Copies of this chain bind each other. A is one copy, B any other.
Amino acid sequence: MAETILLVEDDPSILRGLQMNLGLEGFRLVAAHDGEEGLKLARTHKPDLIVLDLMLPKMSGMDVLRAIRAEDHDTSIVILSSKDQEGEKVLALSLGADDYMTKPFGVAELVARIRASLRRRRRNVRSGELSVGRVSLDVEGRRMLQDGREVESTAREFDLLKFFLSHPGVAFSREQLMQQVWGPDHFGTARTIDNFVARLRQKIEEDSEDPKYIETVRGIGYRFNP
């Protein structure tokens, strides 16, 4: 299955060059010409990797990076920068960028770095038997495990628990959970979340009356505790 790459770059000639080369490498490509469009496409297409220019119209690459990382930690992000500013580089990496290239760059090198980033990510996702306490997920096989023993789970249950395990200790509103797990354009009621939380609790909690992992934060939403 081809991996999807989102290119966020306003210079048409650079964009064309990247599309040519990456297309030949067999990636699925999506392109945005400014920051806002980039952010939107990142949300809708959920690419595996994003090539992100820093100098962009409408919304700077740094802000796009920040916005994406605020919502999602899985996507690899490779930054393109036109000026060789160390400060920007450090900031970008500290904001969660995976790699950083300064223009002008060789396309071959960029492709190599993209491959490396995707490889790292795959290994993480793959090795990422997400595991917290007695609960773990076999992400590849989409299995839910309790002390290593498999627990039957449905698709949604799995996705929700995966999101929780990926963000331990953070309280989320029902709206946020709905956005993150069901997708940004899904429309549903808060009750749905409650139901899935209840189902998850019955599967992974010792005592579903007094949940230890998925805790209710009254007035806010839910939090997964490590």
Please give the distance in Å from A188's CB to the nearest CB on chain B: 17
CA gap between A155 and B217 in the complex, in Å = 8
Give A59 to B169 CA distance when docked, in angstroms: 37
Partner of A169, one of B115, B138, B156, B219: B138
User: Nearest-CB distance from A65 to chain B (Å)?
Assistant: 12
- Asked whether, in the complex, the Cβ of B142 is within 8 Å of the Cβ of A217, the reply is yes
> A169, B155: Cβ atoms under 8 Å?
no
A4 to B194, CA, bound (A): 35
Cβ distance A60 to chain B, nearest Cβ, rounded Å: 6
Contact among B1, B67, B119, B141 with A223 in the assembled complex (CB-CB below 8 Å)? B141
> Looking at the complex, which one of B3, B119, B141, B217 makes contact with A170 (CB distance below 8 Å)?
B141
In the complex, the answer to whether B155 meets A141 with C-beta atoms within 8 Å is no
Judge whether A155 and B26 touch: CB under 8 Å: no
Judged by a CB distance under 8 angstroms, whether A186 is at the interface is no
CB nearest to A223 among chain B residues: B141
**A26 and B60 form a contact (CB under 8 A):** yes
CB of A30 closer than 8 Å to a CB of B:
no
Kindly supply a per-residue 1/0 record for chain A positions 202-226, scoring 1 wherever the CB is within 8 Å of any chain B CB and 0 otherwise: 0000000000000001111001000
**Contact across chains for A154 and B26 when beta carbons are under 8 A apart:** no
User: Which residues between 86 and 100 of chain A lie within 8 Å of chain B, taking CB atoms?
Assistant: 91
Interface residues of A (CB under 8 A from B): 1-3, 24-26, 35-36, 56-60, 62-63, 66-67, 91, 115, 119, 122, 138, 140-142, 154-156, 169-171, 217-220, 223
Can you add 17 more A-B contacts, CB < 8 Å, to A140-B170, A154-B218?
A2-B59, A3-B63, A25-B60, A26-B57, A26-B58, A26-B59, A26-B63, A62-B115, A138-B169, A140-B169, A140-B171, A141-B169, A142-B171, A142-B217, A142-B223, A155-B220, A156-B219
Nearest 8 interchain pairs by C-beta = A155-B219, A26-B59, A142-B171, A140-B170, A141-B169, A26-B58, A141-B171, A142-B217
